[in-house]
Amino acid sequence: MTDTSDQPIAAASGTFDIGGELTVHRLGFGAMRLTGPGIWGEPDDPDECRRVLRRAVELGVNFIDTANSYGPEVSERLIAEALHPYPDDLVIATKAGLERPGPGQWVPNGDPEYLKSECEGSLRRLRLDCIPLFQLHRIDRNVPLEEQIGALIELRDEGKIRFIGLSEVSVSQLDEVRGLTPVATVQNRYNLVDRSAEPVVAACQRDGMGFIPWFPLKTGALADPGGPLATVAERHGATPAQLALAWLLHRSPVMLPIPGTSKVDHVEGNMQAAAIELSDEEVAALGDV
């Protein structure tokens, strides 16, 4: 595991072109944890959260993922407070489609007018004229899919969003949406111990869509002393969490991990994963466990 002096560490993760146009370093930052318990309310230390965001950018992160439901509204506001005016190469992705009745509670709402109003709120909080990547947080089974996606298409046609992304979808749902409009990214839960989204990863890789794995640091018993992840991590002088991120980066060229944290030392540690070089044998061995 090596750092370089001539470029930020996140650059070692390589690049991906979201929508074929927005070039980002593949190791990004997820801003969900910049909130209170239950992803609700203000964080315990807002100043530290703003320092985390600034430090992530210093380390080369130019892809930040958030959502209006984080807080709600808290994460987006902190991003703008910490980073606006934004670097020219910074790509901010946000999401809409969930209501928050209380801590830890998430209720899908795909009503077109709701999605449009949430986009307007995100534009204000993020201080953007156009959101680079706007993702449907969940497909609402109580609203016709054509109406939900139609709202996003309208927002794109109005210049309020640039690219459309999806979250927590199956391959069949992805194909259905792609029959209506191009999809730039998919964000599903995926990590070393949860591969349920494997078919979606394959579809994204086949067709050049970005795949954003949420909960990327889950390692389970693989990280126990003597376990396969801990053993490979020790070989590389890294932590199991860093190895979990490195494995994701090696898993597919369309993979865009977004580890999140509210602590500066954690974001610094996470970014070190970008420089870990795994052999094909190590990638395969970890993928097989």
- CA-to-CA separations, 82 to 38, 85, 216, in angstroms, rounded: 22, 9, 24
Give 155-183 pLDDT, tens digit per residue. Answer: 999 999 999 999 999 999 999 999 999 99
Q: How far is CA 211 from the centre of its chain?
A: 9
> For the residues 37-50, what does the mean pLDDT come to?
98
Question: Contact 189/214 with Cβ under 8 angstroms?
Answer: yes
Confidence band (pLDDT; 50, 70, 90) for 221? confident
Q: What is the pTM of this model?
A: 0.95
Sequence-ordered list of residues with C-beta below 8 angstroms from that of 223, at least 6 positions apart, any chain: 229, 230, 233, 240, 241, 244
Given a contact cutoff of 8 angstroms between Cβ atoms, the answer to whether 132 and 91 are in contact is yes
Residue positions annotated with a catalytic role: 70
pLDDT at residue 101, as a whole number: 96
